[in-house]
Amino acid sequence: MILQVDNPVVEVHDLTVSYDRKPVLWGIDLTLPAGALVGVIGPNGAGKSTMIKAMMDLLPVGSGYVRIFDKPIDEVRNRISYVPQRESVDWDFPASVFDVVLMGSYGKLGLFKRPRKADKDAAMEALNKVGMQAFADRQISQLSGGQQQRVFLARALAQDADIYFMDEPFAGVDIATETAIIELLRTMREQGKTVIVVHHDLQSANEYFDWVVLLNMRLVASGPTEHILTQELLEQTYGGKLTVLTKVGELLRKQEFPSREAK
Q: What is the pLDDT of residue 49?
A: 92
Q: What is the pLDDT of residue 105?
A: 66
What's the CA gap between 153 and 37, in Å, rounded? 15
User: Domain limits of the chain?
Assistant: 1-69+163-172+192-263
Q: What is the pLDDT of residue 91?
A: 66
51-90 pLDDT per residue, tens = 999 999 988 888 999 999 999 998 998 899 888 887 766 7
Whole-prediction pTM value? 0.82
What's the CA gap between 20 and 250, in Å, rounded? 16
| Regions of the chain where pLDDT drops below 70 | 88-89, 91, 105-115, 240-263
Q: Which CATH class is domain 1-69+163-172+192-263?
A: alpha beta
Q: What is the pLDDT of residue 116?
A: 74
Cα distances from 92 to residues 89, 96, 168, 199, in angstroms, run 9, 11, 21, 26
146-173 pLDDT per residue, tens = 888 888 888 888 888 899 999 998 888 8
* DSSP class per residue in 69-83: TTB-GGGTGGGEEEE
What's the CA gap between 30 and 15, in Å, rounded? 9
Q: What is the pLDDT of residue 242?
A: 37
